[in-house]
Chain A
Amino acid sequence: MSLFIQRMFDGLAEGSIYALLALALVVVFRSTGQLNFAQGEIGTLCAFFASTFTLSGWPVWLAVLVAMVIGFVIAALVERVVVRPIEDRNPGAVIVALIGVFLAVNQLSAMFWGVDARSLPSLFPTDADAFIRIGGAAIRIERLGIIGVLIVLLVLLFLLFNYTKIGLAMRAVANNQESSNLVGIRVGNILILGWGLAGAIGALAALLLAPSAGLTGTLMLGPFLLASVAAVLGGLDSPVGAVVGGLLIGLLKAFLIGYVDFLSDMLFPVMLVVLLAVLLFRPAGLFGTEKVERV
């Protein structure tokens, strides 16, 4: 039983990272209908910035905050400079541009920080005795902290979307850009804000993952893949779906590796089956809204 609880919290903590990244993807998808391929790489770049800040003596929380701001700025710039000039044209071109950003940002970190692994201190205590006993299992504080960060962020996002004017404007733009424009919302600024917000959330995911996974240029490649699956599983236009999808995939991974020995290397085949099983019945994901077409 204690092993089960242990694995559950491992899975939830890992799933929280995927949930954060999936949330970032969903925020972008809702505002512009694009999958931001560069989301994970922008996060990695921010983690490199944070590691430089902590090396020069900044406290960790300040480094994390500044890195998130950098993530906001980079993602906002990507929207304004790269995506918007081609937006109304070819969706294929937007994908290529975002893959270009993906490659460029990925290699930027190699250019300035080299290819060796770096370390990033954690926001939470990581000493050997930093754990809490729950039902006989020793849960590391860092794991609980990551889950806590996800919950706090969800509450903040809920407040932002439901109780502020900006949140209302963001929901309006996600719903219908033309009408939003007509009622006086500055759609361009809202899009920049949405992408920037996603950039900051994606950066947070990388900053939480880097201390335990080690900071290299490929830090977010695997998580990005899993997070995009999580977003699709939950429904690309649903923040709740992103969180549920992320946690589900984290749990699936932890239990698969923990309990089903012969499938421990077969995460992706299993995930393909799960994804197909869900999407065949709900083609827009668990919580996504299906597009209704008027004929």
Chain B
Amino acid sequence: MSDSPNDDDVIDRAMTEEIADAGVAGPSAPVTEEGEVEHSGLPIRTPQYGGLHWLGRVLVFAIPLGYLLIRVFGVTGIAGDGWSNSGLGLLADALIIAIAVMGVNLITGYTGQLSIGHAAFFAIGAFTALILTQGKVSTPFFGEENLWDPGWTLPVAGVVCFVVGCLVGLPALRLSGIYLALTTLVFVEAVRSILKYEEFAGVTGGATGIKGDKYTPPEYVFDFFGIKLPTGLDGRGDLNQWMIYLSLGLLLLIMLMVSGLIRSRIGRAMVATRDNELAAEVMGVNLAVIKTVAFGLSGAITGVAGALFGLKLGLAEADIPLFGLFGAITFLVAMVVGGAAQIWGPMVGAVFYVFVNELARSVGENPSESIFSFAFDEGTKLDGLGGVIFGILLILFARFAPFGAVGTFRIIRSKLVQVIPKPPAGSLAARAMAAEDD
């Protein structure tokens, strides 16, 4: 009859809550304690999962999904079976964009700071990768020519964009909502102007940008003291395939890190900042630190995606659409379409955005052979039809799935599967349940 429960109680409760979380809880859920003990003052514990738990959860989803992608899209490279090389390129693009959207999701979805500026980080990441691989600046370690190995440019792009992101985060301390969004949009255009500026042409290539070789996929995934894991790819023809592996791997890693981050102290502070800034501050959240760090991290994630994009393209040029207004729109739309503040949202949203956009474009190019064939004569060509269809699709999506694909899926699931939280052990409700079971 003590006020504080002993350790066994806590462990027991944690275990049963794990089971409850798995969705099997209900009136028949196991009740750990019954009888005399009156524990009105039991601490309410939210389930705390360790890193391994999340690794497991991600892998459980990722392995079937990866297998599905490989089967459906014919990534195995069987000739004439599955998708063409351009289809593989699209999938690689979608995954790279998904990483970029993870960054936007972190700052806009979780921290609530509306940013249309992430195209700038994407551009900076791509330029960082190309500047390093093409030896535009002198650096230690990579020899006289300063030609970096492509793989090593990814972390550098992340660090550069983290620093820039922290700087961009500073105005967010004062601004909010649309004021912040438009400031970040001007930031995109400003970065583009600076990248194009002729005075810096020695590093950034000026208006023509930096043209490099396309990324040559390595022979081995790793080569560790003679233990080699071959990629099974030979040379440049399999670039798209390699980019799919690489970006899918990175995407999953980043999802794992973000889902961990959100459950950490910093992540909780981010969500609290989003939900009510004033309340968060009163509760002891240091808004300045949280906003700056959140901007830095999200910039770093998008920067890594930009580096991947630059390496895949073998080109960094300020006029590439994804580096400007178009990119800003793409990332924001993909985030909302997937589901803001949902860990799977960016992946779903980016794949939706890229493939539906492609579908609309192909319908627009050849309307008489599409599902709208009844409305068009043979061989009709309408320039803007693809864009119009895509725009209307977005309007419909916003109307009928305002919380994004993943959010809508959750709403539907919650209607079909009812999760009844287990009452605290020893409480009246729990005893009533136990009595019912008997």
Contacts and interface: CB of A to CB of B under 8 A. Distances in A.
A232 B384 contact: no
B319 interface: no
Interface string B318-355: 00000001000100110111001000000000000000
A90 B114 CA distance: 13
A89 interface: yes
B146 interface: no
Given A35-B178, A265-B197, A285-B179, A94 B387 contact: no
Nearest to A235: B179
Contact of A283 (B179, B182, B390): B179
Interface string A236-277: 100000000000000000000000001001111101100110
A231 to B, nearest CB: 8
A236 B181 CA distance: 13
B387 A110 contact: yes
A276 B332 contact: no
B413 interface: no
B189 interface: yes
B187 A272 contact: yes
B191 to A, nearest CB: 8
A72 to B, nearest CB: 20
Nearest to B277: A293
Contacts of A183: none
A174 to B, nearest CB: 16
Nearest to B193: A268
Interface stretch (A98-106, A118-126, A195-203, A207-215): A98-106
Nearest to B382: A111
Chain A at the B interface: SS class: helix
Contacts of B194: 266, 269
The residue in B174, B190, B278 that gathers the most chain A C-beta atoms within 10 A of its C-beta is B190
A279 to B, nearest CB: 6
A284 B179 CA distance: 8
B175 interface: yes
Nearest to A295: B278
Nearest to A262: B199
A6 interface: no
A207 to B, nearest CB: 21
A96 interface: yes
Contacts of A262: 199
Contact of B398 (A96, A111, A293): A96
Given A93-B398, A101-B391, A272 B190 contact: yes
Nearest to B183: A275
The residue in A93, A262, A283, A285 that gathers the most chain B C-beta atoms within 10 A of its C-beta is A93
Given A229-B186, A276-B171, A295-B278, A104 B387 contact: yes
B137 interface: no
A82 interface: yes
For the complex of A and B, list the 3 residue pairs with the smallest distance between their C-beta atoms, beginning with the closest. Answer: A104-B391, A107-B387, A100-B394
27 contacts: A89-B402, A92-B340, A102-B329, A103-B394, A104-B390, A104-B391, A104-B392, A105-B391, A106-B384, A107-B383, A107-B384, A108-B384, A111-B384, A111-B385, A111-B388, A221-B325, A225-B185, A229-B182, A265-B198, A268-B190, A268-B192, A269-B190, A275-B186, A283-B174, A283-B176, A293-B278, A295-B278
Interface of B: 108, 171, 174-176, 178-179, 181-183, 185-187, 189-190, 192-194, 196-199, 278, 325, 329, 332-333, 335-337, 340, 382-388, 390-395, 397-399, 401-403
